[in-house]
Amino acid sequence: MTDFVALKSPGKQPPSKDDDVVADEVTWNNVPHPLETANLFSFVGVNWMGPLMSKGSKSTLVEENIWPLPHFDTSANQSKSFESHWAEQLELDSPNLALALFRTFKPRIIGSFLLYILSGAILMVQPIMIKSMLQYLTRYDQPNFTTSLGVTNGYALAALLTLLTFVSVTVGDFGQFLTNRLGCNAKIILMDNVFRKILRMSGHAKKTMTTGEIVTMASVDADRLFFGFMLGYWTLISPLMLLAVFILIGNELDWVSGLVGGLFMLLFLYFGFVSGKHVGQIRRHVLGVQSERVKLTNEVLQGIRVVKLYAWEESLAAQLAEIRSRELALLKSYQTHRILNTVFMSVAPVISLAACLMIYVARGFTLTTPLAFTALAYMNIARQPCTVFSTAVMGLSEAWASCQRITKFLVADEIPLLEHSHATTTGIRRR
């Protein structure tokens, strides 16, 4: 009789006491998400992320270190709240997916938008604080001196500036967290409805949709909608913040200087808006070519036996290479226009500030240190709206185009279901 000897795997080390301790610990993917039990302070300050960042700084994060989704963010819960609004759109002649999503998230969109406005309003006070501190440093030895805020204590001014900066950053980061969460929820809703629609589509409807288009909708278009939520607010916030900046500059210098600087900034914003729309159009052309390439690639892979039988390799390879060359040309144009747009908008605050100061000095006024630093502080606030504006326009236009493509897909004919569950989510329009 043959005897068999068990061999130990050379790559497997014998278990140690530390391994037993780790095995006894409860992995995070089996416990509720901390957002479900976080208090208000932890929720606003995003302190619930602390344990995850602490563990990530000590060891490589693995799948077991990530919590499951909160119940509020699951696809079942989000799609349930979306169904009623989408059913209302299906009753119309022209359903609008973007409007259904807006009505689904309306309270949260308004709340996060107001947080951005509050953060920007607090930022507008910082230049006045800086001006008061400079006035204190230049006049503190003079009798009966005062500052723009009426505070004559340097420590109090420094404490107020620190507090305002902390509050502004905290409110802005919390608003950004809410918008990112909104984008993730919208992405989950779209992916869930696209995959469920595939199972319901009729044979006639499938002939009008290619595999590449469906893959693009479930991946690329969903990502575009996420970025649209993340950056789309700035299409409104940027003009509002810049308008407030130049009104305050006109109040600090004079109205003519503020008006001239505002006109320069308006020209830059117009260029950024037009350029952002153009970049968005190029991106939509890129998505169309990518869908064509994915479709042809899938057809070749599925029919590889026929391709080999008739020796079509060279012909199909040349066709794929031609599609890929068009895609690369569009991507090159997209990246070139996007970078030029970003560079152009980044210099807008500098040119606008130079125009303000030149007009102010040319009109015979004396430019003092507090005034110069105050105007510079206002322009530092204007940097972010200028930099983000064109990207926000591009992201919003891409998200709108993605919503139109997915709307066309969701209203396609489908096979009648025996059960009524989720039937109204992606059902046929009722006349």
pLDDT in tens, 243-281: 999 999 888 888 888 899 889 988 988 888 888 788 878
Higher pLDDT, residue 201 or 10? 201
Report the C-alpha gap between 395 and 103 in whole angstroms: 20
> Please, which contacts does 39-44 make with residues 24 or more away whose CB atoms are closer than 8 Å?
44/170, 44/174
pLDDT at res. 22? 46
DSSP per position, 350-418: HHHHHHHHHHHHHTT----HHHHHHHHHHHHHHHHHHHHHHHHHHHHHHHHHHHHHHHHHHTS-BPPPS
User: In which domain, by residue range, is 278 found?
Assistant: 75-410
pTM for this entry = 0.77
Contact yes or no for 132/151 (Cβ under 8 A): yes
Residue 30 falls inside a structural domain: no
Beta bridge mates, 414: 201
3-state secondary structure of 201: strand
Assess whether pLDDT exceeds 90 at residue 114. Answer: yes
Task: Give the mean pLDDT of the chain.
Answer: 82
Q: Is the pLDDT of residue 353 over 70?
A: yes
Per residue, the 3-state secondary structure of 279-331, as one string, reads HHHHHHHHHHHHHHHHHHHHHHHHCHHHHHHCCCHHHHHHHHHHHHHHHHHHH
Q: Is residue 61 part of a domain?
A: no
Domain assignment present for residue 87? The answer is yes
Question: Averaged over 138-166, what is the pLDDT?
Answer: 81
Confidence of residue 211 (pLDDT cuts 50, 70, 90): low
Position 43 in a domain: no
Identify whether 63 is part of a domain: no
Please state, in angstroms and rounded to a whole number, the distance separating the CA atoms of residues 227 and 222.
Answer: 9
Output 190 or 14, whichever has higher pLDDT: 190
pLDDT attached to residue 1:
53
CATH at 199:
1.20.1560.10
Average pLDDT over residues 115-123: 91
289-311 mean pLDDT: 83
Which two three-digit tokens encode residue 370? 């507090």
**Does residue 217 carry a pLDDT above 90?**
no
- Chain Cα centroid distance, residue 376: 28
The helix (run of H) or strand (run of E) holding residue 111 is helix 106-139
Residue 411 has pLDDT above 70, yes or no: yes
> For the chain, how many structural domains are there in total?
1
Is there a domain that residue 48 lies in? no
pLDDT reported for residue 110 = 93
150 is a domain residue: yes
Bigger pLDDT: 197 or 12?
197
Say if residue 177 is exposed, middle or buried (CB neighbours under 10 Å; 0-12, 13-18, 19+): middle
Six-digit token string for 55: 């563990």
What are the tens digits of pLDDT across the range 18-71?
444 444 456 787 888 888 888 888 888 888 888 888 888 888 888 888 888 888
